[in-house]
Structure 1
Amino acid sequence: MDRREYIVAAGVGLAGAVAGCSGQSEAGTNSDGTTDEPAESSTSAAESTPTAEPTESGYAVSMEPVGEVTFESVPEVWVANNGSWADMGIALGLDAPEGVWLPSRYHTQYYDGIPGVSVDGNSIQELWGDSGVGKEQFYEIDADIHVMDPNFLQRRGSWEQSDIDEIESQVAPFFGNSIFSTGYEWHDYTHYTLYEAFEKLSQAFQRTDRFEAFQSLHEEFQTSLDDIVPEANSDRPEVAIMWAGSDEPTSFSPYLIEDGTSFKQWRDLGVRDAFAETDVRDFHSDRGKVDFETLLDIDPEYLLLRGQETKTRAEFEDTVVSFLESDETGSELTAVQNGNVFRGGPLYQGPITNLVVTERAASQVYDVDRELFDRQRVADIVAGDL
């Protein structure tokens, strides 16, 4: 048996019979055809598995929806669904994944402030293409593990169960869960928290010591946030999180703050969701949009715009913010008048990214002007200096 051989425990289905999410249209025009979110501007209680279970011929790690996977040896070559899992791998001291669904949404610039940690995003193969996600790429990369939810490939990538089975048997197992969002109807199994998923991946790569170090650092970080967030809910900022995929947006795809890892920084900072008590529905439900008139009726204190992470703050101000300030209707919004329009953060975040974007979010809505975590400590953990 070579290093890519594995066993999926009997009685546990890889994908399961889950409800489909077919025929979905995207909010806005998407440059890559059909992905999980609109196109980006160019400028729960989880099962308890404290440690990987040893077996006679390797070790087993369990994760929904793939069940229990037995690895004959520690994986080396890997691919990831998105930046959440890619960032977890970097935190574990791994080389960058050979491929991700959309490298443009794995924002490696977040590592710029971490000494000795960097990833060349241009070296990562894009799994999504003009005709979707092709099986031939999986054969070409010849990974030891595919860190992605097989259900996502079927519901968003148009794969059949037979395609999943083929890659499993001919290349390597799938091992992942779509943790970033709870908005997909077909995801009727466990939604792991960021650190629950991170622990699973650390077990698969046999690097639980780094996970434990990050977990301790994260707990300290959460304590620092407790001193920032006002106790009274009424004293916390009201925010509207939306996708704005152009430099001159006049309509927006609304997000309601949910339990997925995509919103972790905003939940941890205790912000109030401006859409929560309105008729506005999350775009996942009906791919709806809101315009300036709707926003004026709600008039949130802060506008947090996604789809803008490739821009620096200055570039964002020179394009999107400048446009809103000059628009006859947009300029009437309180957030625009008060200078409270910011980039809303990435769709995908792992343990390092979360520290960076949460610190940035604290500076946006609470005017925090200091570092909230030790960047050298992050670098040391990545390097294995525990």
Structure 2
Amino acid sequence: MRDDANRDESSNRTLSRRDTVRYGAAALGGGLVAGCTSVGGDGGETPQEGGDTDDGYTVGISPVGDVRFESPPETVFTRLTHHADMAFALGRGDGITALHAPDYYDGLWNQFVERLPGVSLDWSGLYSSWEPDKETLYELDSDVHLADPAWVTQHDSWSRSDIQEVEENIGPWFGNSLSDRHQEPPEWVSDYEYYGLWEQFELVAEAFRERERYRELAAVHDDLLADIEAGLPADADRPRTVMIAAMDLETIYAYTLSNPGFLTSHTRPLKPKDAFEGEIESGTIVDSETLLEADPEVILFLGGFEPSTDLSKMRENFESDSVTAEIDAVKNDRVFPQGARYQGPVLNLFQLEMTAKQLYPEAFGEWPDYVEGPYPEIPEDEQLFDRQRVADVINGEF
């Protein structure tokens, strides 16, 4: 470990180089207790931003509080993919310095990015940051840590003083992750606010000074949601559905479809019937008999787009097993791939379109027969959002 004198010298060089990113009294040094908005879920009031002055601007996010920036961040530390996708959507994809399981998610995200003309993404080889090492954060020297300090401190290797040290010597924290499924924050955090995916994206866009990019993508999202709402069939015509992840039939993880939190931001608007009827908590391991008892008409298979996943083999496993072969979704070839739960705005658009077609083909068009490779090419007149418009926003050409 480098000593404190060397750290201070490194910090001074950093602040001078990047024209500094500062933060206010309500930030982490104040105890990480300040909430910053009166919003929650997927609706509610517009998040509030602090005023601009000659020496910068202030943006607030829970659980950090108000963060003072003198200039928009360029290099970005992330842990979870919802934050990495936000930075990518705002044209900061090349500035990402860290990500959980970067090679895995690089492969998965690029399956979708393939359908955005002229857009590229490369997360391969980045620092894997699920349980970040503080010394590595010094080496990465990121302008902002787009991660939730309330989550980071759940790791035994991190304390509140470590969080404050990083804030003071490297760059501020600015992220919210416990909104994923409305998790309880640590005891020392009060007034934790839960955001919908696009609410948090708006705050991140404010921090990066990318209001117009956010507005353009939010308009695409709003149009997509409006089309979905207008096309939803009656309750009686919605299929019994489950979402699962499985390496084999011995270990099947079941996930909920409509509980609060941004993990369900692509299924909740589609209002499918929960085949488990609310009796299974998200992340529960279920066996084949339990799955057959629920007898879903549609199975959504998480990670089905990841390049190393053999979707056809998984379908064969379901069909050859004497128990799962009797499931309605298996008999009718309605086992469909999904991407990831920790989705940002770009993946959310694809997953809304994809899931709408998988659940309601009569209303939104048939989902193509997918086995492997990039997100399938869908005829332009059957697409539910404009790929070129999204690509232009990411590339700054709107």
Q: Under TM normalisation by the shorter chain, which class is it?
A: 0.7 to 0.9
Structure 2: how far apart are the matches of 1:11 and 1:91?
26
Structure 2 partner of 1:380: 392
1:90 to 72, 88, 91: 88
Structure 2: how far apart are the matches of 1:155 and 1:343?
31
Q: 1:359 to 1:160 in 2, by over 3 A?
A: same
Q: 1:88 to 1:306 in 2, by over 3 A?
A: same
Q: 1:180 to 1:375 in 2, by over 3 A?
A: farther
Deviations 1:80-101 (A, max 9, x none): 1221111111211223311112
Identity %: 34
Deviations 1:158-195 (A, max 9, x none): 41111101111110000000156225222772111111
Alignment pair present for 1:218 and 2:234: no
Structure 2 partner of 1:4: 20
Alignment pair present for 1:99 and 2:122: no
Deviations 1:287-337 (A, max 9, x none): x41101111221111111224331489x302x1111111112111111111
Structure 1 partner of 2:354: 360
Structure 1 partner of 2:276: 275
Contact 2:77 2:97 in 1 (8 A): yes
Deviations 1:228-254 (A, max 9, x none): 311x2121122111221x1x3233122
Contact 1:179 1:261 in 2 (8 A): no
Contact 1:46 1:190 in 2 (8 A): no
Structure 2: how far apart are the matches of 1:228 and 1:312?
34
Structure 2 partner of 1:243: 245
Q: 2:277 is aligned with what amino acid?
A: A
Structure 1 partner of 2:291: 295
Structure 2: how far apart are the matches of 1:272 and 1:156?
36
Structure 1: how far apart are the matches of 2:86 and 2:55?
26
Structure 1 partner of 2:61: 63
Contact 1:301 1:340 in 2 (8 A): yes
Structure 2: how far apart are the matches of 1:147 and 1:351?
15
Structure 1: how far apart are the matches of 2:202 and 2:291?
40
The Cα shift of 1:354 comes to 0.9
Deviations 1:104-159 (A, max 9, x none): 2453221110011111121432123xxx3211221111000000000111114641
Structure 1 partner of 2:38: none
Gaps of 5+ in 1: 18-43
Q: 1:250 is aligned with what amino acid?
A: E
Structure 2: how far apart are the matches of 1:53 and 1:125?
35
Gaps of 5+ in 2: 1-14, 35-40, 367-381
SS in 2 for 1:289: strand
Structure 2: how far apart are the matches of 1:123 and 1:115?
24
Q: 2:87 is aligned with what amino acid?
A: G
Structure 2 partner of 1:193: 196
Q: 2:285 is aligned with what amino acid?
A: K
The Cα shift of 1:11 comes to 7.7
Q: 1:117 is aligned with what amino acid?
A: V
Q: 1:374 to 1:48 in 2, by over 3 A?
A: closer
Mapping of 1:277-356 within 5 angstroms? 277-278=278-279, 280-283=280-283, 288-311=284-307, 315-317=310-312, 319-356=313-350
Q: 1:282 to 1:94 in 2, by over 3 A?
A: closer
1:117 to 81, 102, 119: 119
| Cα root mean square deviation, aligned | 2.4
Contact 1:180 1:348 in 2 (8 A): no
Contact 2:47 2:199 in 1 (8 A): no
Structure 1 partner of 2:376: none
Structure 2 partner of 1:234: 236
Contact 1:52 1:203 in 2 (8 A): no
The one of the two structures with greater contact order (alpha-carbon pairs below 8 A, sep at least 6) is 1
Structure 1: how far apart are the matches of 2:245 and 2:88?
27
Structure 2 length as normaliser, TM-score? Answer: 0.81
SS in 1 for 2:145: strand
